[in-house]
Structure 1
């Protein structure tokens, strides 16, 4: 029920409204007498009615405000004030406009886990699909691996060290398989690298990321921010096959830090993006920390694709890195949880399922 300043002239007051984007908002109250005039306000200011958008009506004791095709601009606190010659009374209601769910997620982890376990790469010469994770320090690259391994190990997995501060915990080029000897390994692997940082003296060298994309970097290579891998180094693979190359570039970005990334870091990531485009390599973004970015998503992770704030963050990612919105996936990593959470799993599995298929498409196309 909306907030009430005085009930003296009201039989019923305005009620808070939650409507979907594009639907009609209807606010109605009833007065105890008919000889009243009404004024409407939004957020404490006189309502500026727009033709064919706002419809104000009075029918007997009933007062109503209809707002057609609700959008984000229509959110706010609406107040009606009823007046006669001697006194006035007001009541208010909060209007919230929710986006319609713009993506559907299969909120059943067993279906997606089974699909990924049964997945077969369409080129026999490629035994595993290779994904390269890159992004700013602290964005959650290693935590993504931990989360995916948690899903398939069916227990909380924390073997990959996640950066808590401003320094990358990943010092060597590391390939992480998914699965185990008992249940079997899945046909894809994640390659973890040092985080991208500002300046030339810290963080992974951009040339090393590009070398990894092309399959030139051997596992165990120690990253040196000041000196990228050269073909004379014994960690350099001179003639990589399709099995050695990366099949999908996965950028990991923290949702609540997109606008806080420095220009140097963005330029480094854009350079990697351009190289991936030249290679026709699939490029996706995993946008982490969606729970700390959006209160609605924090309360209910299944609302992630109804959140205006998350939608806005996806758009910010698109603008910053030039990746189309359909390739940007909001996810949540395991961080402080003590138990397995199926909603966390499903959101990650939804992204992973699409990434696996796109990587397989790349292998099929460029193995000819």
Structure 2
């Protein structure tokens, strides 16, 4: 697993064919699909997609990248930090993306949370990351927006920020694991264990789960040179297979993406990868909510 000693990394190879077919010229179709989406359940205001993963994996940056794509310009609503080793996100915050007028939003929303960190082994050391228990409460809809995470103790039903009677809109409809493709080797067993615990809890609730691998350009030089090599990269294929083994998420539920961070203009190939992942999130979330109606 992730805690094994690092071994020499083989240089990335460009495969002769894409191992997953990608419609690089289908951006407009996928974008129109997103714009036309409306939940079938009339009670649902928005699909809630909860992002979780290690500190610095790119959760907030992914939210900004989706916002940038849909707005057609650079945005930075979810604050991110490029240098801090600790989680920059401290509160439970939901981001709705504007669509048209000032009070019109897309019918899906992203919830950003504090990053996961290694559990401290010494009793005098303080845990700095989000508590697994808080993420499980969030999936059930018990965490109010604006709750400030306490790394040392989880939210209790007696706290002001505890939502006693969550509605369908408060609950999570898709769990998204976010992992930095360029830092897979240092991913320790403890972080993997926490993520698997969260995933198993989501499975028990019937919540669909996906994963995205961020920073794919930093992880593989052949992708940095040409984004369309993403599904021809032997290294990224290996990284995605590792995520599948580590977390138990099927390979077809794992998507490589590049977040916007240094660009000043949008890029069609970057957008195409983000749209492919976003479309799957919406489809999975819609299926989950519809299944709730038939239960």
TM-score > 0.5, shorter chain as reference = yes
Aligned to 2:38: 120
Listed as ranges, the gaps of 5+ residues in structure 1 are 1-74, 77-95
Residue in structure 1 matching 2:71, options 153, 156, 160? 153
Q: Which residue of 2 aligns with 1:100?
A: 17
User: Which residue is equivalent to 1:226?
Assistant: 152
Give the secondary structure class of the aligned counterpart of 2:184.
helix
| 2:240 is equivalent to residue 322 of structure 1 | no
- Tell me by how many angstroms 1:355 deviates: 1.0
- Taking structure 2 as the reference length, the TM-score comes to 0.89
In 2, Cα distance between equivalents of 1:176 and 1:313: 29
Number of corresponding residues: 275
**Partner SS state of residue 315, structure 1:** helix
Structure 1: distance between partners of 2:20 and 2:279: 14
Could you tell me which residue of structure 1 aligns to residue 116 of structure 2?
196
Q: CA RMSD in A?
A: 1.7
Give the ranges of 4+ consecutive aligned residues of structure 1 lying more than 4 Å apart after TM superposition.
none
Residue in structure 1 matched with residue 124 of structure 2 by the alignment? none
1:318–1:324 contact (8 Å) kept in structure 2: yes
2:100 and 2:138 map into 1 onto residues whose CA distance is 27
Cα distance in 1 for partners of 2:235, 2:16 equals 10
Structure 2 counterpart of 1:248, from 167, 174, 185:
174
Contact persistence 1:106–1:350 (CA under 8 A)? no
Q: Distance in 2 between matches of 1:215 and 1:320?
A: 27
Q: 1:109 to 1:237 in 2, by over 3 A?
A: same
Give 1 or 2: higher strand fraction. 1
Of the two, which has the highest radius of gyration? Answer: 1
Does the CA-based 8 Å contact 2:94-2:110 persist in structure 1?
Answer: yes
User: Is 1:134 aligned with 2:52?
Assistant: yes
Q: CA deviation at 1:335?
A: 1.2
2:5 corresponding residue in structure 1: none
Partner of 2:213: 287
In the other structure, the counterpart of 1:182 is 101
CA distance in 1, matches of 2:281, 2:16: 25
Superposition TM-score, scaled by structure 1 size: 0.72
Shift in Å, 1:160: 1.4
